[in-house]
Amino acid sequence: MKSYIGVVQMNTSDNLAANLAYAKVQIEHAAFVGLDLISFPETFLYIGADNQQKHQLAQSLEGEIVETFRALAVQYNLSILLGSIYEKTKDDERLYNTSVLLNRQGELAGVYRKIHLCDAPTLGYNESEGVKAGDRLVVVEHEIGNVGFSICYDLRFPELYRGLTAQGAEIIFVPSAFFLLTGRHHWLPLLTARAIENQVYIIAPNQWGEHYQGRASSGSSVIIDPWGSVLCCAPERSGLIFSTLDLSYLREVRTNMPLLQQRRPELCQ
C-alpha cells in the first residue's frame, strides 16, 4: 500500500494568528497536490520567550485550535498531524506537549504527550519547568499504516522507538524544534539510525531558523525509508516537501533482513 505524505518545515514565531495562517496555506497546498497526510513540526503554532503567553494560548483537545484543524481535515479530505500543541492539564500548573493526529473525517486518530523532556544544561533549556511529561507509548492504526508517535527530544532514546516497533509501528512521526547547536550534528544521524534499526519510515517535520533571542532550530525536515534512504529533505527555508511511502517495500526490507526476529532481548536486561 502506498501513500503520499507531506512534511512542513516552519519558522514559528510568537504570533499565533500568523502561524495559523501559514499552516492553513500549507494544508491547501497539500490538498492541491493530492497528499494523503500533512505533518507539522513541534509547537508549530507558538514559539516564544513569554511563558505567560504560552499558558494563555494553551487549550484542551476540545478547544478551538483542534476544532479548527478538524474542520480543515474534513474540508480538504486529508489527514493532519498537529506536530505538537500546548495542552492544558487538569491537575498541574504545567502543560503537556501534545501531538494530535486527525484523520480525513476530522476525528482524533491518535494523541501522544511527549515523554522525554529536554532538560539540557548545554542548551540552557529546561523543558520540565513548564511541561509535564507523558507516560504512555502510542501506536494507532491509520489508513497509511500503523503509526507510532514521538516528539523531538524523544529521538535520543532508542528504547522508545524499539517499544513503538514492538507494538506494531511501521511509520513513526518525529515532529521537532531541534536546536541548531545540536541539530547540525545529531539530527539526521539519529533519525537515520532510528529508521534503520527499527526498519520503519521516519517522518520528521522540524522547525527552522531563528525564533527569538538567539533561539534557532536546525531545519532539514525529512522523510527516511526503512533502509535508511532519505526520500526528501527540506532546504534552508520554510515550506512543504513530500514523498511516497510504500508499505510493501517496508515488508520486503523486514523479510530480507529480519532484524526484529533476530533480537536477543533476554540478554540485554
* Active site (catalytic) residues: 42, 114, 152
Q: E strands of 103-156, at which residues? A: 108-113, 119-120, 125-126, 139-142, 145-149
Taking CA 167 as the corner, what is the angle to CA 116 and CA 43, rounded to the nearest 5 degrees? Answer: 35
Return d(Cα 28, Cα 167) in angstroms, integer: 33
User: In this structure, are residues 43 and 52 in contact, taking their beta carbons and an 8 Å threshold?
Assistant: no
Strands 201-204 and 239-246, bridge-based pairing: unpaired
Backbone angles phi, psi at 118, to 5 degrees: -80, 90
Q: Which three cell numbers stand for residue 185?
A: 550534528
Residue 264: burial class (beta carbons within 10 Å; 0-12, 13-18, 19+): exposed
Return d(Cα 136, Cα 107) in angstroms, integer: 20
Return d(Cα 195, Cα 229) in angstroms, integer: 9
Q: Is 174 helix (H, G, I), strand (E, B) or coil?
A: coil
User: In this structure, are residues 138 and 110 in contact, taking their beta carbons and an 8 Å threshold?
Assistant: yes
Contacts of 71 (CB under 8 A, 6+ apart): 106
Amino acid identity of residue 80, one-letter, is I
Return d(Cα 5, Cα 35) in angstroms, integer: 6
